[in-house]
Amino acid sequence: MNLIKSILFVGLGGAIGSIARFLISYGIGKVYTQQFPLATFLTNSIGCFLIGALYAYSIKNNLGNSYFNFLLITGFCGGFTTFSSFSYENFNLLQQNIFIPILYIFSSILVGLLFIMIGFKLFK
């Protein structure tokens, strides 16, 4: 594998994933005004599903460390999911109360794991 080509695939996928995350957050922000960070929650959940599905597809088709994986799993899903935003939002929510951040943390982890399993099973 060519390192430069791999980096370019990861970068391209990351850029597309970041733009997709921004557009989802922007669109949801236009219609949803509640305290719970729905855009990040949905983005992370969808990203977990996609990682599970793409990983299963990669295994099923014996893709290993291919440009497919670099572009879509490492790049797109890495740019699309938002763990740093998740942590920042929880830090800010903890300044106000304890219930919402606890709900957000546990539901994000459980739904994330569930969506990875579903995506993996559907595309295995």
Query: What residues have CB less than 8 Å from 3, skipping those under 6 apart?
Result: none
User: What number of other Cβ atoms are within 10 A of residue 11's Cβ?
Assistant: 14
Q: Is 81 annotated as a binding residue?
A: yes
What 3-state class would DSSP assign to 1? coil
Q: Is 11 annotated as a binding residue?
A: no
Annotated binding residues = 78, 81
Annotated binding residues for Na(+) = 78, 81
